[in-house]
Structure 1
Amino acid sequence: MSEESRRLPRRKADSPITVIDAMTGQRLGLVIDLSESGMMVSSEQAVRADALFQSELQFSHGALAPIKAGLHELWSTTDDANGSVLIGFRFIDISKDDRTRLRTWVAEPGSQYV
């Protein structure tokens, strides 16, 4: 396995966070973990390598208002345990306010981290 290169804490999603492709309205998948710079998503379908997306992250139970962000696919692999596709995205365009809200959410007391 490759050496860990993340610089920011990555919080495990403790309730569903749905990632929507804002251009098509289709669900890209569910967030596994999330930082202010990127996320890992579990999806039922693969995406094109190096793909770019306009997305909306929808937090369940009103935990956080939806966050809009541009995404860049960095890697993907099949999860042998359940056949889903795990996808690593980095945020390439996110407003300052949304990044601040995300940073606050990641740092909430009691959060679990990867």
Structure 2
Amino acid sequence: MTTEGNETGGRRAPRQAVDVLVPVVNAMTQRAMGLTRDISRGGMKMQVVEPLVDQALYQVRMELPMGEGRLPVEAGAQVVRQQREPDGAVLVGLRFVHLETAHRERLGDWLLASGVDAGTS
């Protein structure tokens, strides 16, 4: 399990703390992967029960709450770090490696509505 890096190491985008837990699904298998802990336009931290494969690529899908509805976002993501917490939970850092334009815009809209400057890079 990768534990290198610190809380801000290598991050290219500001992190948005998620005040609701958003389920994340593996879009290829339709199986639940975990729950978001925080998210930015560049990636996210997710809590999982068991570690994922280091450096592996996953196609993830989540529905971000927005007002009375939800914004579906799907992304190609790579595992960049993992850490087991004292309570046994595993935190996984994922970097978004591919977001189609519509999904990138939805994520940006959600971040802006959450009070985060989503930027364009």
Query: Shorter-chain TM-score: what band?
Result: 0.7 to 0.9
State the distance in 1 between where 2:6 and 2:114 align: 29
TM-score (norm 2): 0.79
Partner of 2:76: 70
Aligned residues between the structures = 110
Unaligned runs of 5+ in 1: none
C-alpha RMSD over aligned residues = 2.1
Q: Structure 2: which amino acid aligns with 1:72?
A: Q
Judged with a 3 Å threshold, the aligned counterparts in structure 2 of structure 1 residues 34 and 48 are, in CA distance, closer, same or farther, namely: same
- Residue 94 of structure 1 deviates from its aligned partner by 0.7
- Residue 102 of structure 1 deviates from its aligned partner by 0.8
Aligned-residue identity in percent: 30
- Residue 55 of structure 1 deviates from its aligned partner by 1.2
State the distance in 1 between where 2:75 and 2:6 align: 27
Counterparts of 1:1-114 in structure 2, within 5 Å, are 2=6, 4=8, 5-60=10-65, 63-80=69-86, 82-108=87-113
Unaligned runs of 5+ in 2: 117-121
The answer (yes or no) to whether the contact 1:10–1:106 under 8 Å persists in 2 is no
Moved more, 58-67 or 17-26: 58-67
Q: Whose relative contact order is higher, 1 or 2, with alpha carbons under 8 Å and at least 6 apart?
A: 1
- Residue 21 of structure 1 deviates from its aligned partner by 0.5
- Residue 100 of structure 1 deviates from its aligned partner by 1.6
Q: Extract structure 1 runs of 4+ deviating beyond 4 A.
A: 60-63
State the distance in 1 between where 2:18 and 2:98 align: 21
